[in-house]
A and B are shown apart, each in its own frame.
Chain A
Amino acid sequence: MLRIAVIYPELLGTYGDGGNGLVLRERALRRGFEATLVSVSIEESLPDAEIYLLGGGEDGPQRRATDALRTDGTLAQRLDDGATLFAVCAGLQIIGQSFAVEGGDTYPGLGLTALETVRGASRRVGELLVDVDGNDLVGFENHGGHTISHGANPLGVVRRGYGNDGEVDGIHEGGLLGTYAHGPVLAMNPWLADRLLARALGRELEPLATVADRLHTERVRVVRQMSRVP
């Protein structure tokens, strides 16, 4: 049984973030695997799961979610034990050392990776295209952060948009993956959904043809035609 846990959707579910869990479950089920999707509310302890998902959120909910995960205190151990964590947007900031909040203050993150997020020069809103080991990650970013890697391994190289810092996007360290492409990014990037599933299931997966393949091809084509910087 593949267990997929969406962490605190009431706080970290600003814009379609629930789509990522849905996509993972459906792509597992259609390949014949048993899979369940659970939403974890802030009043619950993190359940056992193979994949955890962190979404985007506004400043106040982001701080509250971070505090709750710090209090829960099990995420780092779960990653050490082999779980996969996929974090987007505010979720990406939460897993780092610290992030900026309103008023120019800094808030401590979970410290699962070296990333440090400071307030960016401007809000980054637009299409994001990232080269991930030769695969195209395409999505939409909408954030005010500038994320410094401090040696952490990024997910990929930014081809269009801003990502962490205009050069690279996200994080990929062991079972920890993240990107600034927010919301239901796995819907638009079925290859990335399958990469997460393959890791969590511990096996290679057969290709699964869905209409999402056409969506990915179309969005990559459209975004490639846009200027590099929004």
Chain B
Amino acid sequence: MPSRPRHLDQRGRLAVRALRSVNATSRALGRGSGTVAGGRVALGIDHDILRKLLRGRDVVLVSGTNGKTTTTALVRAALGVNSASNITGANMAAGIVAALANDNTATCVLEVDEPWLPTVMDAAADAASRSVVLLNLSRDQLDRASEVRQLAQRWQTGITKATQSASWRVIANVADPLIAYAVRDVSNVIACAMPMTWRSDAVSCPVCTRPLVFTSDTPPMWTCTCGFAPPTPAAVFGDTLHVEGRSVPLQMSLPGRFNESNAAMAVVAAHALDVSLADAADRVSRVTSVAGRFDVRRWGERTFRLLLAKNPAGVEALIETVAAEGRPLVVSINANLADGRDPSWLYDAPFQRLQGATVWCDGSRALDLATRLDYAGVAAQLVTDDATFPHCLPDDAVIDVIANYTAFAQWLKKSVPC
């Protein structure tokens, strides 16, 4: 039994007991950990339970469209201390409540769903210390989430309010104009400039909608005729990470340029929390897999590397990696509620960069993907039968699988660790 969370009044203790009861019942019925259900019950009993569970802790929040889970894991590694976290990926209030109720550790590093960030920041007002890492904002699941400019506006309002009522370390990737917009009224931002391949949501100014002019690629810098421009970055990542006049190389075990950026943000966050740059960089270099992502696994006598991408910016980042390595490739696309029910976004992802390759199209929206690839000039094969499919693939190479959210879960379930 986990220890009793500190600082809880009678209502808070009742909420946590109910949460654990729901968790236990769910597990007994074989319906999973009951994390979110338990968190919802706790929030129903005590609307203030999140604030109470965060009280007195050292809190680090991580949010953004892409890289939340990975960066959260990298921040935890970089800090080098035990920390509580929502490792199941349940990143709305209920999931965060459940994670905190079951782990009393003084430091907590939490990934936060983008629309929930203002709420969670507000709830952290009584924490011992508060830090937030803001990665990027781009189009994602428009059928259930806000359009991205609206989201940036909500962040701007919420982050400004939270930082006016309590002190925060705000570590923000201001190379992304929407992030710079979200923190424009925040003083003492630790401004970072990370490589940025996805720019389709950064073409027009978040303030006035005029076209932004990129004045530099490394680091990505931009300006608008209305005067809106990012603050001078304190941390820049190109080939190495430069922080306030010092530089540190990042040798990553995780694949991809995007993970170097995630790691750089994690190192800057840890540095802001008094970890040396060298220690933080060393620690993130040892992380090899995060929640199954980038894992190499076996299924049907074949070996697969599982890669998660849920939106065009995520796919673009992975295409850069898989195209360079040239392995056989499966792309698996579902359109369940958690994926977004509308796969129109496939046309925003640069699949044409896979020309010359053959892509196996998998998932409930394989036909949408095959059509997209056909118009992009990429050879597509439809996966029609899970029983025979692996035998169509080479058995002497690692096969890359890019899957969106629920498709990724299905691949994790049907495969086993090597």
Contact = CB atoms under 8 A, between A and B. Distances in A.
Query: Are A and B interaction partners?
Result: yes
Interface of A: 10-11, 13-19, 22-23, 26, 41-43, 58, 60-61, 64, 125-127, 140, 142, 182-184, 187-188, 210-212, 214-215, 218
Contact of A22 (B149, B345, B347, B367): B347
Contact of B150 (A41, A58, A182): A58
B217 interface: no
Interface string B116-138: 00000000000000000000000
B342 interface: yes
A7 B368 CA distance: 25
A14 to B, nearest CB: 6
A126 B211 CA distance: 31
B347 A16 contact: yes
B244 to A, nearest CB: 35
Contacts of A214: 367
Contact of A14 (B139, B211, B371, B374): B139
Interface string B330-346: 00000000000110111
Those 4 A-B pairs whose CB atoms lie nearest each other, nearest first: A183-B344, A19-B347, A16-B347, A16-B344
B347 A60 contact: no
B391 to A, nearest CB: 23
A16 B348 contact: yes
B279 interface: no
A212 to B, nearest CB: 5
B134 to A, nearest CB: 21
B318 to A, nearest CB: 18
Given A22-B347, A215-B367, A10 B203 contact: yes
> What size tier do the contact residues of chain B reach?
20 to 34
Contact of B142 (A11, A15, A41, A60): A15
A127 B342 CA distance: 8
Contacts of A187: 347, 368, 371-372, 375
Contacts of B347: 16-19, 22, 183-184, 187
16 contacts: A14-B147, A15-B344, A16-B345, A19-B344, A19-B375, A42-B211, A60-B209, A125-B143, A140-B143, A183-B347, A188-B368, A188-B371, A211-B367, A211-B371, A212-B374, A218-B367
B370 interface: yes
A184 B344 contact: yes
Interface of B: 139, 142-144, 147, 149-150, 200, 203-204, 209-211, 341-342, 344-348, 367-368, 370-372, 374-376, 380
A60 B344 CA distance: 22
A126 B340 CA distance: 11
Contacts, number: 92
Q: Which of A58, A210, A211, A212 has the most CB of B within 10 A?
A: A211
B342 A210 contact: no
Contacts of A183: 342, 344-345, 347
**Main secondary structure on chain A at its contact with chain B?**
mixed
B296 to A, nearest CB: 31
A42 B205 CA distance: 13
Contacts of B342: 15, 140, 142, 183
Contacts of B150: 58
Given A11-B209, A140-B143, A211 B344 contact: no
B200 A13 contact: yes
B370 A211 contact: yes
Contacts of B348: 13, 15-16, 18
A41 B344 contact: no
A214 B143 CA distance: 24
B345 A41 contact: no
Given A19-B346, A42-B204, 12 more contacts: A15-B342, A16-B348, A22-B376, A58-B147, A58-B150, A61-B204, A64-B209, A126-B143, A140-B341, A184-B346, A187-B375, A215-B371
Nearest to A23: B375
A43 B371 contact: no
A222 B348 CA distance: 24
B367 A26 contact: no
B344 A140 contact: yes
Given A11-B204, A23-B375, A125-B143, A16 B346 contact: yes
Contacts of B345: 15-16, 183
B149 to A, nearest CB: 5
Contacts of B380: 211
A111 to B, nearest CB: 22
Contacts of A188: 368, 371
Nearest to B372: A187
A177 to B, nearest CB: 19
A149 B224 CA distance: 39
A22 B149 CA distance: 26
A125 B344 CA distance: 13
B279 to A, nearest CB: 43
B156 to A, nearest CB: 14
A153 to B, nearest CB: 26
A30 to B, nearest CB: 10
Contacts of B200: 13
A212 B143 contact: no
Contact of A10 (B139, B147, B204, B375): B204
A23 B374 CA distance: 10
